[in-house]
Structure 1
Amino acid sequence: MSYKVIVDSCGELTDEMKASGNFETASLTMEVGGVRIIDDATFDQADFLRRVADCPESPKSSCPSPEDYMEKYRCEAERVYAVTLTAELSGSYNSAVLAKNLYIEEYGEKNIHVFNSCSASVGETLIALKVQACEEAGMTFEQVVETVERYIEGQHTYFVLENLDTLRKNGRLTGIKSLVAGALNIKPVMAATPEGTICQIGQARGIKKALSKMVDHIVEETQGAEEKILAISNCNCRERALEVQKLLLGKMKVKASFIVDMAGISSMYGNDGGIIVVV
């Protein structure tokens, strides 16, 4: 039974995923300083970060259209899964669901399921990998959907960023009261809520202390770690990601672990120096 997993471009695909032929990216687009940048294989992180630094206005993003998703649903694969950014912060999920309904209306029934990641970045990557594991275990379409939805409920996303400007200016931090001014070099430790919104779980003075505090939270809150994959995404700070990975693996045993470089949308919100951890 052939299958395909479509991941919106906030989710980074590993080299193995790209090589497998079972994964495809639905690109979001970004706009910075009047220039439109497509978040696909041509994305140049260094150039993008330079443009953001030079531009007084905050960059903006737009999600794939229903037509973009429909185009990807039209394929040989008998089972199609889409994994999107949390529906609380992006229109990507709604776009993918609308595309599914339009597709079925136009072409008839097909096994298509859209997963709301309630996360972003490597959270989406891990969900896509879970779909692959379920498919390769020979599960039925319904079993894959049920198992992966349950996996999403148990997944946790954490992040520490050098600055939260893009998230704040684009209205992604509504309801967070206690964010402190950057003058004191206070770095908040952030996480995703079960519903997929952003919350603050701590803060520390300086990025190193904030990362250390994040590590402590992860170790404390992760249950059944030995059955889980630990994934870390970084924006132009691989050494920092390696350090976080080392700290975590020194305190908990996991099934596997990997690090990826942030793609376009993650880079836009994560900003230079940002770290996202999902387990």
Structure 2
Amino acid sequence: MGAKIIIVTDSTADISPEIREELGIVLVPLKVHFGQDVYLDSVTIESDEFFEKLAASHQLPTTSQPSPADFMEIYERLLEENPGAHIISLHLSSALSGTYQSAILARSLMDREDEITILDSKSASNGFGLPVIAAARMASEGAAKEEILAEITRLLDDIRFYFLVDTLEYLQKGGRIGKAAALFGSILNIKPILTVDREGTVAPVDKVRGQRKAMVRIMELLKQDFDGVPVNISMAWAYHQGNAMELYELAKAHFDVRQVSYATLGAVIGTHVGPGTSAIFMTRA
């Protein structure tokens, strides 16, 4: 029997508390700030509560990464409680957040490089949440560190995902798109199809007029990678699930879907994309 493998991730992986508990996934939360009030994403504020608070707030909340001290506390506790264990820590794209850098700094301050592997997913939400879940399943079944790392790498490379925002307001407020583009897009009902690119940044793939046409275009984009092969998908949404379910019905009509899972976008991701956002994540079955 090899060393015990412990999987650590952050709250932007958008993994449900039930799955985290079932598989022993350890969470390091990012923070959401409403004025002076600070909440821990997926710990002291859940998705629906966040969006209700967002609707009632006059100012956009801000987000912040975990500190190196937050990571040190968790890493040290895990290694103390599990002598001889190895930690695999997989996190939100370093191009979108300083979370990965905080983890790296924590490990260097602890001087325990041999016991902790830290990975930059160059992805977001279930784009790295699904590899985290797969890694935790493998760890629970006794897989070796090298096997788990190889599967994480394969899945991160294989997954494609696209998301549609209900309004461009939050991307504009967060500095992801310009004010003129947001205004122009809203007036013309332009729906940008977004993804996180290979560099780990939010990138527009296409712009389509109208929600339904945008969803059809997403199917065309997914077919470039998955036409004719069995797939697993995850559907995710922010507060309202209607658009995500419509996207799912389209996916079922276009692909051989073997497994489907569902996720709600948490407070940190929700701050930047806003309510009504829908996303589809697809990988080979």
Three-state SS of the structure 1 residue aligned to 2:124 is coil
Per the alignment, residue 144 of structure 2 pairs with 140
Q: Alpha-carbon deviations, 1:81-133, whole Å to 9, x = none? A: 21211111111111111112222x2xx45431122121111112101022124
Per the alignment, residue 109 of structure 2 pairs with 102
> Would you say the 8 A contact 1:241–1:259 is kept in 2?
no
Per the alignment, residue 244 of structure 1 pairs with 247
TM-score normalized with structure 2 length? 0.85
Per the alignment, residue 219 of structure 1 pairs with 223
1:174-253 equivalences in 2 (<5 Å): 180-222=184-226, 225-226=229-230, 228-253=231-256
* 1:166 matched to 2:165: no
Three-state SS of the structure 2 residue aligned to 1:118 is coil
The residue type equivalent to 1:101 in the other structure is S
Three-state SS of the structure 1 residue aligned to 2:90 is strand
Per the alignment, residue 16 of structure 2 pairs with 14
> Would you say the 8 A contact 2:68–2:106 is kept in 1?
yes
Three-state SS of the structure 2 residue aligned to 1:199 is strand
Structure 1 unaligned residues grouped into runs of 5+: none
Report percent identity of matched pairs.
Answer: 24
Displacement of 1:207 in angstroms is: 2.3
Are the structure 2 counterparts of residues 109 and 95 from structure 1 closer, same or farther at C-alpha, using a change threshold of 3 Å? closer
Displacement of 1:140 in angstroms is: 2.6
Per the alignment, residue 274 of structure 1 pairs with 277
> Would you say the 8 A contact 1:232–1:259 is kept in 2?
yes
> Would you say the 8 A contact 2:60–2:271 is kept in 1?
no
Are the structure 2 counterparts of residues 224 and 88 from structure 1 closer, same or farther at C-alpha, using a change threshold of 3 Å? farther
Rounded Cα–Cα distance in structure 2 between residues aligned with 1:273 and 1:266: 12
Per the alignment, residue 259 of structure 2 pairs with 256
Are the structure 2 counterparts of residues 147 and 241 from structure 1 closer, same or farther at C-alpha, using a change threshold of 3 Å? same
**Which of 35, 38, 44 is the equivalent residue of 2:37?**
35
Three-state SS of the structure 2 residue aligned to 1:43 is coil
The residue type equivalent to 1:25 in the other structure is L
Three-state SS of the structure 1 residue aligned to 2:148 is helix
The residue type equivalent to 1:100 in the other structure is R
Per the alignment, residue 113 of structure 1 pairs with 117
Over the aligned positions, Cα root-mean-square deviation in angstroms equals: 2.5
Per the alignment, residue 66 of structure 2 pairs with 64
Displacement of 1:18 in angstroms is: 2.6
Displacement of 1:44 in angstroms is: 4.1
Displacement of 1:80 in angstroms is: 1.1
> Would you say the 8 A contact 1:84–1:115 is kept in 2?
yes
Rounded Cα–Cα distance in structure 2 between residues aligned with 1:110 and 1:17: 28
Rounded Cα–Cα distance in structure 1 between residues aligned with 2:50 and 2:18: 25
> Would you say the 8 A contact 2:33–2:61 is kept in 1?
yes
| Residue correspondences, number | 273
Displacement of 1:136 in angstroms is: 4.9
Rounded Cα–Cα distance in structure 2 between residues aligned with 1:111 and 1:150: 22
Per the alignment, residue 124 of structure 1 pairs with 128
Rounded Cα–Cα distance in structure 2 between residues aligned with 1:222 and 1:97: 35
